[in-house]
């Protein structure tokens, strides 16, 4: 099956599969001098910087100032869907930078109209109109504000361990990290239990995950806490920052019924899952659920700052009548819109959704083999080319092993694979893998072999045979 799919996608996959030489743009930099400058003038924004300075990116790889070539299994910040430096994306950027880059926000342009038409034509009826912003946090902020304006209510429900952005309302519904140190957050924010099939205490007599009881229990608590002004619930189909936890089959439909029962809107945040990443064009297609508002970012721009808010014609009409406003400097900018339109064109034209599904099955099979071989791997989860691998000290107690995970990650990076393991305790020692969806079977096998060598050569991984 995989070879047939690869034959069907000669443009994107063949570009990514080429032998890539080190980019020369910053080939002569002095790394020590740059590190000194960075220490003097680059501010910390809440993360520990990696030790190497990246001087190039191409295809599936990033390159360091010291000449190290590393397979980028996180697509940058989970964004470069079809790889770094794709020639058609480079061309779209160059053409629009030279001819149609940025406009007064009230002016429309062909790239914005074309992107809106293409995107809404690919989505189910009920997601009929779109506008475009710069980041996922921005799109979620706009979606929450739109839900409040439309319903006339203000309480918002989010899921535990969620990540929706750093702006005020998005952060108010974000329960993974980043809430501390700033005083009160937005009023009226409520949290449902995180749907964590691996660690949840909600279990059926046979030990399987009882997500329905957990979800109903969470809504019962929210009903008790609510002041009667529930406006919307926002959810990710796969909670990536939480550790790649996939919503259980049926969860999203049940969530929508809970929202409808309370007169709320359902907002689905597909920052990472959208545009083919998970083996469906959009993750909502997998569950056959149409949210009231859909937000996209990351994958839509392939690394450029582009996000989308998509809603029904009726929601747009009512919000317009009620003076909804989300006016920003870069709303509906033509240059990033041209890139988004080209991304959607390529994904459909080159059958990358089917390719992502097939390569995802291959990736997950390889990760499960690793789990069979090393006792430190507690769980493998995800869907399509979006996978999580959790490192534990003991499979029975499920105690996290952050130090061990860090050592494995360092060895993987040394051998040539970057898989976005954060050392921060909130990430729980989980490798979060989301390589560009143009990755080939051979490149997956190469990365899996490097992972095997990293586990094999790191003390404490508990080989099982």
Catalytic center residues: 163, 236, 269, 272, 298, 432
Pairwise CA distance, residues 461 & 452, whole Å: 11
CA atoms lying within 13 Å on the CB side of residue 294 = 28
Choose among 394, 340, 385, 333: nearest CA to 358. 385
109 contact partners, CB below 8 Å, separation of at least 6: 100, 103, 332, 334, 337
Question: Which secondary structure element, helix H or strand E, spans residue 79, and what is its range?
Answer: none
Q: Token pair of 163, please? A: 């990540």
Pairwise CA distance, residues 322 & 156, whole Å: 19
Q: Token pair of 447, please? A: 């990365």
Strands (DSSP E) contained in 73-176 are 129-133, 155-159
Q: Token pair of 298, please? A: 């990351």
Pairwise CA distance, residues 195 & 37, whole Å: 43
Tracing tokens 């475009």 back to the chain, one arrives at: 132
Helix (H, G, I), strand (E, B) or coil at 143: helix
Cα angle: 311, vertex 387, 401; to 5 degrees: 125
Pairwise CA distance, residues 251 & 306, whole Å: 29
C-alpha torsion angle, residues 159, 165, 167, 169 (rounded to 10): -20
Pairwise CA distance, residues 200 & 71, whole Å: 33
Pairwise CA distance, residues 367 & 374, whole Å: 11
CA distance from start to end of the chain? 31
Choose among 110, 150, 140: nearest CA to 230. 150
Choose among 114, 119, 112: nearest CA to 311. 119
Give the burial class of 207: count Cβ atoms within 10 A of its Cβ; 0-12 exposed, 13-18 middle, 19 or more buried: exposed
Cβ atoms within 10 Å of 358's Cβ, excluding its own = 21
How do beta strands 399-400 and 387-394 pair? antiparallel
Q: Token pair of 102, please? A: 């940025």
């Amino acid at each position: 099956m995989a070879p047939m799919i690869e034959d069907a996608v000669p443009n994107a996959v063949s570009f990514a599969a080429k032998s890539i030489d080190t980019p020369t743009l910053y080939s002569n930099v002095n790394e020590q001098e740059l590190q000194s400058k960075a220490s003097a003038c680059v501010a910390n924004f809440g993360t520990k910087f990696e030790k190497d300075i990246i001087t190039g990116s191409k295809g599936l790889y990033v390159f360091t100032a010291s000449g190290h070539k590393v397979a980028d299994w996180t697509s940058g910040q989970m964004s470069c869907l079809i790889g770094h430096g794709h020639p058609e994306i480079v061309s779209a950027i160059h053409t629009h930078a030279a001819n149609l880059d940025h406009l007064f926000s009230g002016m429309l342009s062909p790239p914005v109209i074309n992107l809106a038409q293409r995107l809404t034509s690919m989505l189910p009826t009920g997601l009929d109109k779109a506008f475009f912003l710069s980041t996922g946090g921005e799109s979620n902020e706009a979606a929450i504000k739109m839900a409040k304006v439309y319903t006339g209510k203000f309480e918002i429900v989010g899921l535990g361990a969620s990540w929706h952005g750093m702006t005020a309302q998005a952060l108010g519904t974000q329960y993974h990290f980043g809430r501390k140190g700033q005083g009160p957050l937005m009023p009226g924010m409520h949290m449902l239990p995180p749907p964590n099939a691996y660690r949840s205490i909600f279990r059926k007599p046979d030990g399987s995950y009882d997500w329905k009881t957990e979800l109903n229990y969470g809504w019962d608590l929210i009903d008790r806490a609510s002041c009667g002004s529930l406006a919307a619930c926002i959810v990710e189909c796969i909670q990536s920052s939480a550790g790649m936890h996939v919503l259980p089959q049926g969860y999203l439909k049940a969530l929508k019924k809970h929202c409808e029962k309370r007169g709320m809107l359902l907002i689905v945040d597909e920052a990472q899952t959208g545009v083919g990443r998970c083996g469906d064009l959009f993750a909502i297609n997998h569950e056959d659920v149409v949210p009231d508002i859909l937000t996209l970012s990351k994958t839509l721009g392939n690394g450029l700052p582009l996000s989308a808010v998509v809603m029904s014609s009726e929601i747009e009409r009512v919000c317009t009548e009620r003076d909804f406003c989300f006016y920003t400097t870069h709303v509906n900018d033509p240059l990033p819109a041209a890139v988004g339109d080209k991304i959607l064109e390529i994904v459909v034209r080159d059958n990358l959704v089917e390719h992502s599904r097939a390569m995802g099955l291959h990736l997950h099979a390889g990760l499960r083999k690793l789990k069979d071989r090393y006792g430190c791997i507690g769980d493998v989860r995800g869907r399509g080319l979006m996978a999580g691998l959790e490192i534990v000290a003991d499979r029975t107690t499920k105690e996290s092993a952050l130090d061990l995970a860090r050592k494995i990650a360092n060895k993987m990076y040394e051998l040539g694979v970057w898989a976005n393991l954060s050392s921060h305790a909130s990430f729980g020692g989980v490798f979060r893998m989301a390589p560009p969806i143009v990755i080939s079977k051979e490149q997956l096998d190469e990365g899996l072999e490097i992972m095997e060598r990293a586990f094999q050569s790191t003390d404490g991984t508990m080989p099982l045979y």
